[in-house]
Amino acid sequence: RPLRPGVFRSVAMSFARAVSLFSRTAAAGARFAHSAASQASGASGKKLWFFAGAFGASAVAVYMYSRDSVSADKKVINILISGPPGSGKGTQSANLVRDYKLVHISTGDMLRDEVKAKTPLGLKAKGFMDAGQLVPEEVFFDILKARLSQADVKQRGWLLDGFPRNRAQVELMNKNGLIPDKFVLLTVPDDIALARMCGRRTDPVTGKIYHMLFAPPPNDPEIRARLVHRSDDSEEKGRVRLQQYHKNMD
């Protein structure tokens, strides 16, 4: 079967890279061999040093080519994680970031950072927030696109948490070609999700999240006194959030 143009181009680039690496390392090896041979006594000593230098240069070239090839062929993975409130998205996101070295993009944190930094998009979003209005989908998505275009995200890949939340946001992602390689959907019964939400506490100093039953904070009066219970983690508001989540998923 004939090679596709993309495959031929990839093979050609790999060959060119190998030739370039071998030329550089061979030249270095030759200089080393010549220097060593000039100091060696006798013809046999000079030959030994020359072949040792040439062999070393070849070995280095092979190693460098293999290392660069693996690095060049490494695929950046983009993951989207979703699930109801209290399903453990934060915990699982931390695991994925640790294992795959991804950039964790929490849309809520991202929006707050833009507003705090007073970027043009952040100021635009702040205008709606100050007026008690929801930030329009288009403005929110422009902020997301700006974050995804940054160098660290392009090099390491992203883990998107908290977006999309509804059909309109899904359509925006599709329209802009923002398609994840993997989609992680967490499922948990509503009663367990409620129990997790109601028992959650956040340390405003460290940012660490505890659960009074499942993952209690240390027995330190100072830490326990400063823990914050989010207003939307009450049972009443938790049920509303779960209903909204199921409505969006349907």
Instruction: Please give the structure tokens belonging to residue 79.
Output: 């993951």
Which pLDDT score is estimated for 1? 42
Residue 172 sits at the vertex; the CA angle it makes with 171 and 176, to the nearest 5 degrees, is 115
Residue 17 annotated in active site: no
Is 1 one of the annotated active-site residues of the chain?
no
Q: CA geometry: angle at 152 spanning 93 and 82, to 5°?
A: 25
pLDDT at 74: 59
pLDDT score recorded for residue 91: 87
196 tagged catalytic: no
Our answer to whether residue 75 is catalytic in this structure is no
DSSP β-ladder status, 79-82 and 182-185: parallel
pLDDT at 143: 85
Task: Write down the catalytic residue from 67, 116, 145, 230.
Answer: 230
Q: Is 239 a catalytic residue?
A: no
pLDDT tens digits for the chain (250 residues)? 444 444 444 544 554 455 455 555 555 555 655 555 555 555 555 555 445 555 554 544 444 544 444 444 458 899 999 999 899 898 899 999 999 999 999 887 888 888 888 988 888 888 887 877 768 888 888 888 888 999 999 999 999 988 888 888 889 899 988 999 999 999 999 999 999 999 999 999 998 889 999 899 999 999 999 999 988 888 998 898 899 889 888 7
pTM for this prediction = 0.62
pLDDT at site 100: 93
> Is residue 166 a contact partner of residue 249, using CB atoms and an 8 Å limit?
no
pLDDT of residue 4: 45
> Catalytic pick from 147, 196, 201, 241?
241
